[in-house]
Amino acid sequence: MLSQRSLVASLSLGLLYWPVMAGFGGQIGGRAIDREHSSLKIHVSKSGFFSAFAHNHDIEAPIVSGEVQTTGSPSVELRVDARKLRVLDPELSENTRAQIQKTMEGPQVLDADRFPEIHFLSNEIEAKGTDQWMVRGILDLHGQSHPVTVDVTLKDGFYRGSAAFKQTGFGITPITVAGGTVKVKDELKVEFSIALAQ
């Protein structure tokens, strides 16, 4: 049976922890990510001497599954199928988009047949203000696992945020063409808008 001192300590700890749990998920327990109303996009920028003649690329990454856990230690987990990433780039022809798509999925970049799953699991969620958090976790990509930090804000029922990381950090060599005069930047930017299932 808990002593009065232990009970007070437990209640105090719970009250301190409650704002993080209640805010990041809205209720106690795990909630699935609403895939239909959530989005994740990857922005790939151009660089190089003749970059003015190249294009930036926007890639859609549909979320296959995910959950926000608010019981015990708050956490976020999501999975993306690398084979389902789609190059958007509406200014390009369908044939050019198809070529970029093939290169992205192939062994030069994602090698999606060998490494089909992209997985993120948080290991720390730090409140940074009202409806704002810094989420740290491990990203599994291209057969490698590395820490990533994500800034998250809750607005209008959506968790929105962004993160940046380098392709070379996950063993991916940024694409270059024309002898390196046109290439994509090493750093990628990921932006997301996530809703939770009701």
Question: In this structure, are residues 148 and 163 in contact, taking their beta carbons and an 8 Å threshold?
Answer: yes
Q: What per-residue confidence (pLDDT) applies to 180?
A: 43
Cα distances (Å, whole numbers) of residue 150 to 23, 75, 104, 165, 166? 16, 13, 24, 10, 14
Q: What per-residue confidence (pLDDT) applies to 45?
A: 78
Q: What per-residue confidence (pLDDT) applies to 183?
A: 62
- Give per-residue pLDDT as tens, 57-104: 788 999 999 998 866 788 999 999 999 999 887 777 888 788 888 888
Question: Exposed, middle or buried by CB within 10 Å (0-12, 13-18, 19+), for 93?
Answer: exposed
Q: How many CA atoms lie within 13 A of 6 on its CB side?
A: 3
Q: Check whether 36 has a pLDDT greater than 80.
A: yes
Q: Check whether 20 has a pLDDT greater than 50.
A: no
More confident residue, 6 or 30: 30
Residue type, 162: S
Cα distances (Å, whole numbers) of residue 32 to 104, 163, 193? 29, 21, 14
Q: For residues 52-90, b (16+ Cβ closer than 10 Å) or e, as one string?
A: eebbebebebebbebbbbbeeebbbbbbbebeebebebe
Q: What per-residue confidence (pLDDT) applies to 70?
A: 66
More confident residue, 44 or 180: 44
Q: How confident is the model at residue 193 (pLDDT cuts 50, 70, 90)?
A: very high
More confident residue, 49 or 174: 174
Question: 């509406």: which residue's tokens?
Answer: 90
More confident residue, 8 or 107: 107
